[in-house]
Amino acid sequence: MSDDAVSSDRRLIGTFDYVVIGAGSAGCVVANRLASDPGKKVLVLEAGGKDDWIWFHIPVGYLFAIGNPRADWLFQTEPQPGLGGRALAYPRGKVVGGCSAINAMVYMRGQAADYDGWRQSGLSGWGWDDVLPYFLKHEDHVAPPAGGLHKAGGEWRVEHPRVRWAILDAIRDAAEAAGIAKIPDFNTGDNEGSSYFQVNQRRGRRLSAYRAFLKPLLDQRERTNLRLETRVHVERIVFEQGRARAVEFTHGLGTPSEEKLRVEVGGEIVLSAGSIASPALLERSGIGSGTRLRQLGIETLVDAPGVGENLQDHLQIRPVYKVHGVKTLNGDYAKLWRRPMMALQWAALRTGPLTMAPSQVGAFAKSSARYATANLQYHFQPLSLDSWGAGLHPFDAFTASVCNLRPSSRGSVHLRSADPQDVPAISPNYLDTEEDRQVAIDALKLTRRIVAQAPLARFRPEEYLPGEAATSDEALLDAAAKLGTTIFHPVGTARMGRADDPGAVLDERLRVRGVSGLRVIDASVMPTITSGNTANPTMMIAEKGVAMLLEDARG
């Protein structure tokens, strides 16, 4: 499956300087920067469709997009032993913009220690001081404070929430009473404390990576060097003498207009399909564990056992508390007469509940004194439901979602077969280690301590899930297994690492080891997960990765 002539059943659509596979959070940034040179031809291949649905643009639309086949690939994990054998829904964006079109819109960089840890592991150029300029390069902060940690003028808008809830302010007060200080900004390198999340919106509308980086270029009539193809399924990357030279894909898969196509590449191919699809495409192209590929009947081009391994994700545990005498989205949405009022408020003023990210208030804390920096993240939500995509509960409540920021458990993503249409096997391996199990127990104990503080007492919180009967460590761990679900942050499945690291798929410049002309630039490159929401670190990686690509191209 390596050196290969043009397939007889495929139509050649031309030659491009660069082909970017995936128009998600990373791919849109990469394509924008590559296409800024009008002398270079750039093709972007996206498996999803156009963002021509209203719920891609109204922020609260995540409630309708996640779990909907129009917006979500509807992946599922393998049954997870650490979760009592449950298989979880694993949402991924099925649209231009990728997950940035359906995610929580939270602007979060992580902690300086995350990136300094990468640098200390031998990845030069990836420390906090190295990566901060790439966060800033595309940032457009609504009101950048003094100090140089934020800036205005880039493509990526960062705003403050446009709706407040009394219950969330009371939760912040309760967290403060429990020892979690109020802070103004999570994005200074140290995010310990509580604050309102900053969001990637523009005047009350969701801003996706596609809308920020790709669409403005495609709308320029005079620009002829950038082409986007949607609803294409990439089967494999074709190599000649060890260099990536072509991409084979199908347009309109499963439709009457289905056509098998091929594009040739003069420069580089950038794989930005994400932590699930990128390792799968590497394996289909002959890059992966030789043993695994032989079992699938795929010829091995590069024996790279790290492909598809090292999967890390933030497992969120979702305690729910009923409250009384205070407004929540559950109660508002249940009142049918309120729904048109919400719509009018959004349409006229771009304010109100329809501008809501899934979480408005967050908190970062330590589960125990053994951790040097905060290892828990809370997403406090003035709503509750059994699962994303399900309806809201018929009573007023809030959710105190909490996740372990730096899990020690490691999972995998691999092909099930050589069939390009087969979905990969996703196994995050949640709660596989004793450390992760203890953090889960301690997280539930801390949650109860916050909710028990005086500022929440007037709302008479009642623990609906997991329920006050769960008191022993064993019962709390069982509750974590029952309530735990993904918070949609898979990373690490094609990680970068030092030359002497046998599990590293990429070098520190994101080049795939063992071949030339191919880079991976997306969340799969992370050696370890960042301490917070992963969308913006992924876009930083895209900014830095494409800068390195262009630097290398100049020689």
Which of helix, strand or coil describes residue 252?
A: coil
Residue 466: is the preceding peptide bond cis (ω within 30°)?
yes
- The tokens of 40 are what? 């270079």
Which of helix, strand or coil describes residue 287?
A: strand
d(CA 357, CA 353): 9
- The tokens of 151 are what? 């800036």
* Cβ-contact 248, 234 below 8 angstroms: yes
For residue 394, how many other CB atoms are within 10 A of its CB? 10
What are the residues whose beta carbons fall under 8 Å from the beta carbon of 126, sequence distance 6 or more? 115, 118, 119, 508
CA 79 to chain centre: 22
* Cβ-contact 157, 139 below 8 angstroms: no
d(CA 277, CA 70): 18
Question: Known catalytic residues?
Answer: 489
What are the residues whose beta carbons fall under 8 Å from the beta carbon of 39, sequence distance 6 or more? 225
- Residue closest to 315 by CA, chosen among 200, 464, 231, 431: 431
What is the helix (H) or strand (E) element at residue 463, kind and residue range? strand 462-465
d(CA 32, CA 28): 6
Q: How far is CA 18 from CA 219, 232, 246, 249, 274, in A?
A: 20, 17, 10, 16, 18
Q: Return left, alpha or beta for 536; rule: phi > 0 is left, psi -120 to 50 is alpha, else beta.
A: alpha
Q: Running DSSP on this structure, what letter comes out for residue 121?
A: T
d(CA 326, CA 271): 48
Q: How would you classify the pairing of strands 397-404 and 412-414?
A: unpaired
Q: Running DSSP on this structure, what letter comes out for residue 212?
A: I
**Alpha helix (H) residue ranges in 323-451:** 329-334, 338-349, 434-451
What is the helix (H) or strand (E) element at residue 554, kind and residue range? none
d(CA 332, CA 243): 57
What are the residues whose beta carbons fall under 8 Å from the beta carbon of 253, sequence distance 6 or more? 231, 232, 233, 421
* Cβ-contact 98, 272 below 8 angstroms: no
CA 169 to chain centre: 27
What are the residues whose beta carbons fall under 8 Å from the beta carbon of 167, sequence distance 6 or more? 323, 326, 327, 328, 382, 398, 459
Q: Which amino acid is at 36?
A: S
